[in-house]
Structure 1
Amino acid sequence: QPRGASLSHNPPVRRGGRTPVWLRRGLAVAVLAAVLAAIGVVAGLPLLRERSQQRLEQRAEREVTATAQLARTRLLAAPEAGESTLRQAAESVAGVEVLTVRRDGSGAAPAVRLVFRVRVAKTTASVFGWQRADAVACFAQVVHADANPAALERLPCPD
Structure 2
Amino acid sequence: MRFGGGRSARRRRVMLAGAALAALVAVGLTLGVPLLRDRSQHRLERRTDREVTATAQRTRSVLLAEPSAREADLRRAADTVDGVEVLEVAAGAAEVRLVFRVRVAKTAASVFGWQRADAAGCFAQVVRRGSTPAPLERLSCPS
**Is the TM-score greater than 0.5?**
yes
Matches within 5 A, 1:99-138: 99-104=87-92, 106=93, 110-138=94-122
| Equivalent residue letter for 1:30 | G
**Aligned twin of 2:26:** 38
Shift of 1:18: 7.3
Shift of 1:22: 2.5
Shift of 1:43: 1.1
Shift of 1:28: 1.1
Gaps of 5+ in 1: 1-12
Aligned residues: 142
| Greater Rg over alpha carbons, structure | 1
**Aligned twin of 1:59:** 47
1:147 aligns with 2:135: no
Q: How far apart, in 2, do the equivalents of 1:55 and 1:121 lie?
A: 14
Gaps of 5+ in 2: none
Q: Decide which structure has greater helix share.
A: 2
The two structures, once aligned, show a CA RMSD in angstroms of: 1.6
Q: Return the TM-score normalized by structure 2.
A: 0.93
Q: Return the TM-score normalized by structure 1.
A: 0.84
Shift of 1:119: 0.1
Aligned identity (percent) is: 58
